[in-house]
Structure 1
Amino acid sequence: MARYVIQSQFTGAFLSPSPDDGMPEWVISLLEAGVLDDIEHINQIVEDHCEPFHRAKVIDLHAL
């Protein structure tokens, strides 16, 4: 199973579903970033919640 995080190349923050309500929010720490596994869901989050200046990058944690 792939494990991904979404990172802003502009700020370095991670876009992650909130543990409280599931709505995406920017967090600074990788430890706080929620790990995602559905690439279609990830693409939708990026499309809906990332401004172009973020230059969002999807990182495969298994490839690190």
Structure 2
Amino acid sequence: MPRYIVQSKSTGRLLVPSSDDGQPEWTLDLKKAGVGVVPEIDRAVQLVEDWCDVDDLPQIIDLDRLGTQDDYQ
């Protein structure tokens, strides 16, 4: 199963659900990032469309590419 997460290129923050109300919020805490991982690219794209501003420079990271020959360069 693929694993995707949304990251801001401008700040390095990750988009994860809030522990208060479940609404997405930005965090630098990598320990919280696991709850922000989504299995479908369409869901990750929807998070970008609904919760990111242009100045966030959002990017969708495929966690399964990290550390492989297809890693991001």
TM-score interval for Structure 1 and Structure 2 normalised by the shorter chain: 0.7 to 0.9
Partners in 1 of 2:30 and 2:3 — Cα distance? 13
Partners in 2 of 1:19 and 1:60 — Cα distance? 24
**Structure having the larger proportion of residues in helix:** 2
Partners in 2 of 1:47 and 1:25 — Cα distance? 14
Q: Which amino acid aligns with 2:24?
A: P
Alignment of 1:40-55 (within 5 A): 40-55=42-57
RMSD: 1.2
The gaps in structure 1 that reach 5 residues or longer are none
Aligned length: 64
Q: TM-score, normalised by structure 2?
A: 0.77
Partners in 2 of 1:8 and 1:50 — Cα distance? 9
Larger radius of gyration: 2
Name the structure 1 match of 2:25.
Answer: 25
Q: TM-score, normalised by structure 1?
A: 0.87
Name the structure 1 match of 2:5.
Answer: 5
The gaps in structure 2 that reach 5 residues or longer are 67-73
Q: Which amino acid aligns with 1:25?
A: E
Runs of 4+ in 1 over 6 A off after TM superposition: none
